[in-house]
Structure 1
């Protein structure tokens, strides 16, 4: 018995941990996605090879959705690059007053769920806009919302994915050695010439990589096309999958699997292009103090006001419109001291369905965050400390559920967990368990990558000394690695909790009666035309996220730079 325990918890313990993590990754993402792709490449009902793909490509609805996906994603990239690069230059080139808060606002679309941001813009630009109507700028009554169109989808997705370009550009600016800028200044170059000849060439490769990442994100976006595209009859691949499943149920899963395969191919092509751009265009820079910006001088105040005006339009105005809609008794009623009411909040918060949605989202998000943090520590330790080749491979495969569009992962979960599980004879479809499985498969990288970065910064000597002293694997993980990695893992877990709390893309396909989530409740109410109630739930959800952000930000001041996305620039 002692020998068995030594093998299990000694050197052989690494294999046990690797097997456990491999099983976890398989059931939460890898096996469902593999089954889905095999099905998509299979024959049709007549037995013709690749019949499902052929039928899909021949469909006019698919061709229209594919074209709309391509041009709307490309258009949103243009918006993301213009806004992201512009805001990065505005906050990075000059030491403007309040630029830390401005940087946080530029990153806020990362923290605001897409359906809530879209709902805010709908209320801002609609005929009954509580903000624009008093100014005479709202569309006339009876005219459709201008955002219910392909252009609206492009604009909103561009704003939502703009932080991906902003983060890349700001990081590139900060990585430029201050000595390089100072040398150019000594050589007689002015500020404009330094920006054009030194800073911009070193920043553009990162911007291009961020643009590719934003394209991949746009291809898999569901919330914005669902809220804006479905009413505007602008179909993309993600909404086509949702509408076909919603209309015909799991019976069409083979046909929509082929659509999902095309989505994955587009996203992977963008990510591969990103890797190529980073490898071929990036320029190695010397280490040392990074560039922190030029002095603002007399232009500081006007430039800061212009920056805040842009951020006000992009971020604050839609949120203000959302709050205004939540405070009016009905659409079209002007907001004033006499009309303002909390009745919408009272109605939705007293609704059993909404209460159930909040309870389900809290429970699922908390469970996903805690389990993901635990697995991230084990997986990070395997690859980074134990130097296990299998651990490194599993770390790379852990990205699978995050890289593919959420709609694809949700579809894969339906395919695998629709039928009863072997041995137990119970189906996960229609239960909260299938939502949890999807969350676990999708959000693990949010905590795994910071944990891996922390391991890379940690001195391995302590673990090596413990190994030489004969300390078993379990004790080395629990007594040495876990205490060191716990703060970073907790911060990553909070990010997962905030992301999963208002998640819609996966939940829209997997929810069932009694297992609604906050994101599904908001989408359903807006889809049914109950905009004031949807706005009220959105405001409550945003208040929860804001409280979590402040809590984790206070806690995250002691964490390494880059652990929290809004502290990266």
Structure 2
């Protein structure tokens, strides 16, 4: 046993080096390859050709403008929902929170397609209601403001979740003391709650900005038809027109996206520096405001906002799928299920996309879980700097824009793997490995939370009784973390199944995913088929979220994002 188990620890000596090796392959190697390619392009003078291209500066401008406006919109919506659902006695909090988080789980290209079907002169739903703008009117979403608006809708749940976690830890004794001193609710909110909420607000803004910067689905659907290219869509077009300079150009463009994202996070760090937000005393949701008669105004208002964020776009998407062509009014005479029949039974491409997305998502979720359990075991038992560094390296790929990670893996696997002489580029395996890298952090969080709640005495007693590591893992650890492991599988499956940004650059013939299929169908003019496929994807997302909701009571706190 000596040498197999680290002295004074239940952790095998090989475990942490294995975790480090996996992190080096999934996180360090692709980003290092991207950096090397960018430096090589810089040394060869390619950077001047990129910097001299007017398309770069217009794309950078559009990226920054839409990201900043989208972040502001997400802040307004997300903060309003967070304050009202966390601090007031408004009714229906559970349902409102569940529905508000839903847009974050829906693929951005589906969100964009649904809003396109809901607005403009060719909307089947608006035509059926006889409120469509006159024919020839421009589609208002094909603009910078349209892209920013959908960024705000898509990423408002990120602000909500970041702010809500901070609001749940507010010192209720401090709030009660202020009330007993005669402070009004407005004064308590302004002088106590709002200052203590700044970390959550700033963190939500930073997450939203980074997500807007790397979003591909929304500007691809709304921007490309209007010749508005952001940096992710510009990279996509660079690959579509492949030349000998493409790799160097996209490496530099990806570096610019990464710099913008890191700058956003740096602004967050600078805004919080020098401020002490530690609170003392009891915390919890009981620090709530009774809003009295205002609930009869605010409750319908929140449901109205959710109607326009979710229900109306979904109804428009269904209407677009049930008419024979885009622009045909939705009536009983025009209703047809041909699009759904075509998607499910006739179109080989969509059947392949379903099979690829489901198999990739399932493979990513299950394989990552096996690695995640070992990584969570190792990291939860380390309190040193090396453990913190490894944890940070796992987080980096998920925090980076997906387009950057896709380019990184293209650069790693564009050439055959040395010694093995095997080419992964153009196969489904490169997408799977990129998913491993990007969703490792998603898989890890619920399992780490479960490990932190385990009593180490159980495992220690088994170890002293002679049980080996794998025996303890099978008989003690895995049964106790099973609910969190199940949640990890569902979360990763849900996110991976609807992913577009990574697979948009990595797919080839026969490896299309659902996100790619929806984008290609809409791009080719088959909006009815794209709408039908999108409806099926939304229903699948809702089903998976309901599964998580049913499991919520058995899961560690914080695993299901929309629950307390």
Bucket of the pairwise TM-score, normalised by the shorter protein = over 0.9
Which SS does the other structure have where 1:372 is aligned? Answer: helix
Q: How does 1:61-210 map to 2 (within 5 A)?
A: 61-210=55-204
Structure 1 residue aligned with 2:392? 396
Q: CA deviation at 1:285?
A: 1.6
Q: Distance in 2 between matches of 1:422 and 1:242?
A: 28
461-470 vs 238-247, which moves further:
461-470
Q: CA deviation at 1:197?
A: 2.1
Deviations 1:361-418 (A, max 9, x none): 1110001001111111111111212557644432221112212111111111111111
Change in CA separation of 1:289 and 1:392 when aligned onto 2, cut-off 3 Å: closer
Structure 2 residue aligned with 1:518? 514
Would you say how many aligned residue pairs link Structure 1 and Structure 2? 560
CA contact (8 A) 2:172 2:281 kept: no
Structure 2 residue aligned with 1:537? 533
CA contact (8 A) 1:409 1:438 kept: yes
CA contact (8 A) 1:209 1:277 kept: no
Q: Distance in 2 between matches of 1:457 and 1:9?
A: 23
Residues 1:359 and 2:361 are matched in the alignment = no
CA contact (8 A) 2:6 2:13 kept: no
Which SS does the other structure have where 1:425 is aligned? Answer: coil
Q: Distance in 1 between matches of 2:473 and 2:24?
A: 23
Q: Distance in 2 between matches of 1:232 and 1:410?
A: 25
Structure 2 residue aligned with 1:565? 561
Structure 2 residue aligned with 1:457? 453
Q: CA deviation at 1:561?
A: 1.9
Which SS does the other structure have where 2:124 is aligned? Answer: coil
Change in CA separation of 1:55 and 1:474 when aligned onto 2, cut-off 3 Å: farther
CA contact (8 A) 1:205 1:282 kept: no
Deviations 1:23-45 (A, max 9, x none): 3233333212111111102245x
Deviations 1:511-568 (A, max 9, x none): 1111111111001001111111100000011111111111121012211221011224
CA contact (8 A) 2:41 2:248 kept: no
Which SS does the other structure have where 2:225 is aligned? Answer: coil
- Picking from 206, 214, 219, the partner of 1:212 is 206
Which SS does the other structure have where 1:231 is aligned? Answer: helix
CA contact (8 A) 1:451 1:485 kept: yes
Q: Distance in 1 between matches of 2:132 and 2:16?
A: 58
- Picking from 294, 299, 307, the partner of 2:294 is 299
198-207 vs 382-391, which moves further:
382-391
Q: CA deviation at 1:508?
A: 0.2
Structure 1 residue aligned with 2:48? 54
Deviations 1:416-450 (A, max 9, x none): 11111122211001111001001000001112122
Q: CA deviation at 1:76?
A: 0.8
CA contact (8 A) 1:382 1:392 kept: no
Q: Distance in 2 between matches of 1:370 and 1:398?
A: 18
CA contact (8 A) 2:94 2:563 kept: no
- Picking from 19, 34, 37, the partner of 1:36 is 34
Q: Distance in 1 between matches of 2:270 and 2:489?
A: 31
Structure 2 residue aligned with 1:256? 250
Q: How does 1:234-383 map to 2 (within 5 A)?
A: 234-248=228-242, 252-278=246-272, 280-281=274-275, 283-292=277-286, 293-350=288-345, 351-383=347-379
Q: CA deviation at 1:463?
A: 3.4
CA contact (8 A) 1:206 1:282 kept: no
Structure 1 residue aligned with 2:495? 499
Q: CA deviation at 1:341?
A: 1.8
CA contact (8 A) 1:114 1:160 kept: yes
Q: CA deviation at 1:291?
A: 3.6
Q: CA deviation at 1:104?
A: 1.6
CA contact (8 A) 2:166 2:197 kept: yes
Deviations 1:232-270 (A, max 9, x none): 111111111111011116751111101111111111222
Residues 1:227 and 2:225 are matched in the alignment = no
Q: CA deviation at 1:326?
A: 0.9
Q: Distance in 1 between matches of 2:396 and 2:243?
A: 25
Q: Distance in 1 between matches of 2:417 and 2:285?
A: 56
Structure 2 gaps, min length 5: none
Q: Distance in 1 between matches of 2:474 and 2:260?
A: 41
CA contact (8 A) 1:40 1:52 kept: no
Residues 1:24 and 2:18 are matched in the alignment = no
When normalised by structure 2's length, the TM-score is 0.94
Which SS does the other structure have where 2:484 is aligned? Answer: helix
Q: Distance in 1 between matches of 2:542 and 2:355?
A: 18
Q: CA deviation at 1:338?
A: 2.5
CA contact (8 A) 1:157 1:218 kept: yes
Change in CA separation of 1:389 and 1:297 when aligned onto 2, cut-off 3 Å: closer
